[in-house]
Amino acid sequence: NSPRNIISLRASSKSCGCPIMITPSRIVVQYGSRFHADCSSCVNGSCKETKWETPTGSKETLNNSNNGINKTRWNVDHATEWDIKPMCYEDTNADCCTVLAFTLYKPPDNVSISFVNHTGPLLEGHQYNLQCRVQNVRPIQNLAVTFYKGDTILDSVQSRSSENTTVTETFTSFSFNSSRGDDGVQYWCEAKLNLGQQGPPPVTMSERLTTTVYCEFTSNIRVARWSLNCTAHSNPRPAYSWTGPDNTTVGNGSDFSVQSAGFEHKGLYICAARNSQGSATVKFNVDVGGVFNVFNLSASEAHPFLILQTWSSFLVRHAPTLIVHSAVGF
């Protein structure tokens, strides 16, 4: 056991009105750890013998031949006593005394995070609360819990317990609505013991909870690339033009394709082929519907039907269909 987890702070010890000095002036130590504190009472280089009044540990006198200052050291190998008030006093004057500010703490055995009354994937637009369970911590009055979404703080909660013992407590975050952007997000919490102004506070973090969010597609659904073909065989070679559902020209080759289709692509597509000898048209009625699956499609005069390949994942409500009716012309 090395002297670890000791935080020396600038704090005023309770003094009985004499020149007793304790170093460090305050001790904050983890349960089971080792520490020591020195006490002396000197005025103008003249020092008096001091003694410790403590419920545990050993004492020894340290003599410094260089400056003549004598110190009494209080040694503790395993800090296990709660709520003690160590006091140092002059051996010949018990009224000359100082009480050392002393805090013993125990970090949590475990910190865990979960959703309140929920397991499994989240649903888009539903309301949820996170809960952080902190096991076997003391002093509970100094405990604060922070909830995180990735690296962003969601909520902070301070314990309101007044129990003077080792405590297990569950903290709950505020309510929030899940969104599709939360899919894959990691939630976690940390328990922090705020024990003073100097030195980093003891912090224990939970595991990371990675979320899956089930959601429905909205009207801007996109499916895989699809294409239409109206190749004509004529001499001279024809020129092509495609007219879309809104009667505007959308293409000028024998093939028409959409890289990422949505409901706005639904409607009648007309392919016109023209040369000096005449013209012909092919009509394709494309219907995009449903909520999920993905389709690849193609069509020609000889095969005026769609060849469909589908895949699916997530939550399926309806199977989208893209339909090409018989072609005329050519």
For residue 265, give the DSSP letter: G
Backbone angles phi, psi at 177, to 5 degrees: -95, 135
Q: Kindly report the pTM of this predicted structure.
A: 0.60
Q: Determine the Cα–Cα distance for residues 308 and 38; give it in Å rounded to an integer.
A: 84
Pick from 180, 261, 253: nearest CA to 219: 261
* Element of type H or E holding 67: none
Q: How confident is the prediction along the chain (330 residues), in pLDDT tens digits per residue?
A: 333 333 333 233 444 558 899 999 899 999 999 999 999 988 877 788 899 999 888 888 887 655 566 789 999 999 999 999 999 999 888 888 999 999 999 999 999 999 999 999 999 999 999 999 999 999 999 999 999 999 999 999 999 998 999 999 999 999 999 998 999 999 999 999 999 875 678 999 999 999 999 976 444 444 456 788 888 777 788 899 999 999 999 999 888 888 776 778 888 889 988 888 788 888 888 877 654 433 333 333 333 333 333 333 222 222 233 333 333 333
Q: Determine the Cα–Cα distance for residues 252 and 70; give it in Å rounded to an integer.
A: 100
Task: Record the tokens describing residue 248, joined without a space.
Answer: 């505007």
Which residues, at least 6 apart from 302, have a Cβ–Cβ distance to it below 8 Å? none
Q: Could you tell me the sign of the dihedral formed by the alpha carbons of 161, 164, 165, 166, in that order?
A: positive
Q: For 28-64, b where at least 16 C-beta lie within 10 A, e where not — what string?
A: bbbbebbbbbbbbbbeeeebbebbbebeebeeeeeee
